[in-house]
Structure 1
Amino acid sequence: MEPWEKVLVDAEAFLATDHGELTCIECHNGTNVSNKDEAHAGMIASPSEQPDVYCAECHEEESAAYPAALHATQAGYWTTINARNGNIPEDHPALEEMFGNHCASCHTSCGECHVSQPKNVGGGLFTGHVFEKTPPMTRSCTACHGSRVGNEFLGKNEGIPGDVHFREARMSCVKCHEGAELHGMTETAAGADHRYSGAEDPQCIDCHQYVADGSDGVEMHAQHGDGTELSCQVCHSVTYTSCDGCHVAVSETSGNPYFETEATYHTFFIGLNPIRSEDRPAKYVPVRHVPVAPTSYEFYGENLLRNFDALPTWVYTTPHNIQRNTPQNASCEACHTNPEIFLTADKVQAVEQNANASVIVKTVPPAVELFLAAMPQPAAHAELVSDSCVACHETGIRNSPMYPEDHIGFSNESCSGCHKLP
């Protein structure tokens, strides 16, 4: 956009709206005089940075909730930064300087979704200052969330189709991510410290209710649809973007902050769920490599990520490139006994092995025939701790049957996959 286009108010369109009933000064301050400099004295460019003052009179619930929403707090950044740093107080001045230079611009006010493009992508009014109840997707949502989510959802990665929800159903982001969630008004979103905090919201089964109980007639859903073994994306995602080695600094010539990454590439790997919980119970999930490195912030100080291994670098991900048919759901064998699509240790850099210990798949799921032939566990095993299988059945302790030779190398995580409780 040309500079003048970014601020040009469409008087006819704007004055016909509810917000057009307010004078410019009521929101932006300034003075109603013909001299430009005098008119703009004391002007507030982004009044919605103070929603309690400028928005709450009409939008009371949204204004009360939004300051604690992730788009406002950016808490997800600090959750991961503090974890990898170890939350060392003396490191915080350097980390806060880094954050201010490279991360803080991703903060979004009400107006940066409903009136203009966010400042960090150049700003500019959407439609002449008309307030859009539903933000335009490509100038708001994917303007910020573009390099991964946007490109995957819209099919901009060469050779990889866009998400079926967009490509065929023409769904926009807010069809799933509704206003209440984005405004921080739902139980999960209110005060969240990370985008994957709490229960999944939205969930695939909000629309696809018959998958979880396998009543849709799809055999794989009958086997895996309850969500305890696989996330939906394990079967229905395709190749997505991963990155390596992001480093931030300030240019010596221009004085502007910048970042560089060592590599960007496409992957599809299934790993163990590093945030497995009652809210996110799937054992296997797609994992994406994030570009953090132990030296990512070294421009601002030494060893600022001294607790680097506290979090994996191959992280839980929910790619926005869903397809009904994918290479890995073409057959059982496309996944079972196929090490190519699992994040095994040989695919993880040596310096990142410790960080990813909770994610690396040690034993690829065996052939389906093994599952079908496996005896169920005795009911009394429900009271045993989950890591005791090998301890007993490798040695025959307490008269436990010893496992056969073709089970050598299987880990505890493999046992309950085949031998289910009754």
Structure 2
Amino acid sequence: MNTIIFSKLKPLFIFLFPALLIFGCAKVTNKDKDTLPYGTCEGCHTDYDHLQLVYSPDTAAPAGGCGGTAPHFEPYDRVIMEGGGYEAFKSSTHDLLKCTDCHNGVDKTSDKDLAHSGDFLRHPSEQYVEKCGDCHDDIVGDFSTSLHHGTGQKRKVTMRSGLSGPEDFSQLPQHQIEGYNANCATCHGTCGNCHVVRPPLAGGGLVDGHNFIKSPSMLNTCIKCHSSRGGHAYLGLASGTEPDVHLTEAGYHCIDCHTGTELHGNGMPVDHRYEYSDLPECDDCHDRADNMYHDMHYNDFNCHVCHSQDYNNCGECHVHGDGARIPSYQDFKIALNPIPETKPGYKMTLVRRTLAAPDNWEVYGVDEYASLEAFPTYNYTTPHNILRWTSRTQTDGACYVNCHIRNEGGDLINKELYLFMDDLLEWEAEATGKITVDNALPAIWTK
């Protein structure tokens, strides 16, 4: 009897089964998270075993830079949506959007190549005006001039190349542009690099199951890019240094001081980060009243001259060649203020050696910069390794013992704290000589 019934219904079953597959899958939406099939974006990206079967091996070299080579995450680990972060994403307003609203491509298919075809965007915020601007127009409107968008280093590269500034970046030789994008732009990014995925230098991939993180993690985001200078100092990683007092005593994370305008930009072009109008200042929290040392030197140099520890330096980068030919080293140098037009209150400041060198771009077909002297090879710096008591402020006698230069039996004590012409390499002299302290200190100091 059952055989007879089945034989009569078989034609109908043959017709309905494909229809159920097609139209049944088509009815699944991004909200059906408990019954997602492989025929949707989320169906694939929430099934770890399936991702392992269909992933494509990496073909590009891992990101690198001042912080070293990025850690490796397998391709399927970078795109899996799971855990508490995924649950948070499903409960957020961002889940009201379809996957294809941001990533383009094709949904409702189990064919990976088709899903990622056409104008598919791996990182939607690369087109942040279109993809993020409808809801975040106030931030998007200002971001084009943000230093996180990469305008800062473009300025130096273009002007040392004899051009006017970052607006002329496209006029550089194509190979040099490719070299910049591959080697120098790995720390620069857009919205998603802070709020959704790890930065390239952190290995890339979803940081928390596709959750949109309003306040990025200091350790997993900020310090992954700001590693060799900011994080290295703030965490006290170098031998002989201590973590910054703002971390150990106040528990501060980056965004407790660095917020809004500084991170997203304010729509006004700036040459470097110290030109932002809303930067944190020591005076915002610290009252210098009733301190004779502060009163004596307040207009002479910035706070870091006394309260910083030694900090990371390196130099002479051969981009995509030998790398930094002056390897990372701890140092402390006081020089004439290299940006008096921006920081007019200080005669002297701390400076940090940069990666600039005449042949930075030799591997990319540019033998030497046309105008290396456009900027000093040492930058104004504010190391994030502040202590109340440092080797400058902790003395058994007079304050000046640990910072003024004095002659003891022919040895100039404390001379190493200052940047002199004889500290420079031959090719640095023209660019950097103008900020050395030669002839700027009391004559009695160096006699």
TM range (shorter): 0.7 to 0.9
Partner of 2:331: 267
Match of 2:122 among 26, 45, 50: 45
Describe how 1:206-217 pairs up with structure 2 within 5 A.
206-208=284-286, 210-211=287-288, 215=289, 217=290
Measured after TM superposition, the shift of residue 167 of structure 1 is 2.2
| Cα separation, 1, equivalents of 2:129 and 2:432 | 43
Instruction: Tell me how far 1:190 sits from its aligned partner.
Output: 2.9
* Dislocated runs of 4+, deviation >6 Å: 406-410
**Candidates 113, 121, 124, aligned match of 2:194:** 113
Residue 261 of structure 2 corresponds to residue 193 of structure 1 = no
How many Å separate the matches in 2 of 1:169 and 1:349? 41
In the alignment, the residues of structure 2 paired with residue 360 and residue 33 of structure 1 have an alpha-carbon distance, to the nearest angstrom, of 64
Unmatched segments (≥5 aa) in structure 1: 251-257, 367-405, 411-422
Map 1:14-413; keep pairs closer than 5 Å. 14-29=89-104, 30-42=106-118, 43-72=120-149, 74-87=150-163, 92-185=173-266, 190-197=268-275, 199=277, 201-208=279-286, 210-211=287-288, 215=289, 217-225=290-298, 228-249=299-320, 259-277=323-341, 279-330=343-394, 331-337=399-405, 338-363=414-439, 365-366=441-442
Asked whether the equivalents of residues 200 and 280 of structure 1 are also in contact (C-alpha less than 8 Å), the reply is no
Larger radius of gyration: 2
Q: What are the superposed Cα offsets for residues 330-364 of structure 1, whole Å, 9 maximum, x if unpaired?
A: 32221123323111233222332222222111247
2:419–2:436 CA contact under 8 A, matched in 1: yes
C-alpha distance in 2, partners of 1:270/1:260? 23
Cα distance in structure 1, aligned partners of 2:278 and 2:87: 43
Residue identity matched to 2:223: T
Asked if 1 retains the 8 angstrom alpha-carbon contact of 2:275 and 2:342, the reply is no
Aligned residues of 1:95 and 1:304 also touching (Cα < 8 A): no
What is the number of equivalent residue pairs in this alignment? 353
**What's the secondary structure of 2:370's corresponding residue?**
coil
Cα distance between partner residues in 2 of 1:407 and 1:112: 53
Q: Deviations over 1:281-324 (max 9, x none)?
A: 21110111112221221222354313222321122111111111
Taking the aligned partners of 1:129 and 1:198, their CA distance within structure 2 comes to 31
- C-alpha separation in 2, matches of 1:288 and 1:12: 44
Alignment correspondent of 1:255: none
Structure 2 residue runs of 5 or longer lacking an equivalent are: 1-72, 406-413
- CA–CA distance in structure 2, aligned partners of residues 317 and 311 of structure 1: 14
Deviation at 1:5, TM superposition (A): 2.4
- Mapped pair 1:6 → 2:82: no
Give percent identity, aligned residues only: 37
Letter in 1 for 2:389: N
Query: 8 Å contact 2:123–2:192 — kept in the other structure?
Result: yes
Query: How far apart are the structure 1 equivalents of 2:316 and 2:208?
Result: 39
Provide the TM-score with structure 1 as the length reference. 0.77
Deviation at 1:95, TM superposition (A): 3.1
Q: Secondary structure at the match of 1:51?
A: helix
Distance apart, 1:135 and its partner CA: 0.5
For residue 393 of structure 1, what is the aligned residue in structure 2?
Answer: none
SS at match of 1:220: helix
Alpha carbons of structure 1 residues 121 and 12: separation in structure 2 relative to 1, 3 Å = closer
Deviation string, structure 1 residues 37-76 (Cα, Å, up to 9, x no partner): 333333321111222222122212011111221111x121
TM-score norm. by structure 2 comes to 0.73
Contact kept? 2:160, 2:375, Cα under 8 Å: yes
Structure 1 vs Structure 2 CA RMSD: 2.5
Worse-superposed segment, 168-177 or 41-50? 41-50
Distance 1:14 1:52 in 2: 22
Equivalent position SS for 1:355: helix
- In 2, the alpha carbon distance for the partners of 1:408 and 1:232 equals 22
Q: How far 1:260 sits from its partner (Å)?
A: 4.2
Q: What's the secondary structure of 1:353's corresponding residue?
A: helix
User: C-alpha distance in 2, partners of 1:407/1:143?
Assistant: 46
Q: What SS class does the counterpart of residue 186 from structure 2 fall into? A: helix
Question: What amino acid is the match of 2:199?
Answer: P
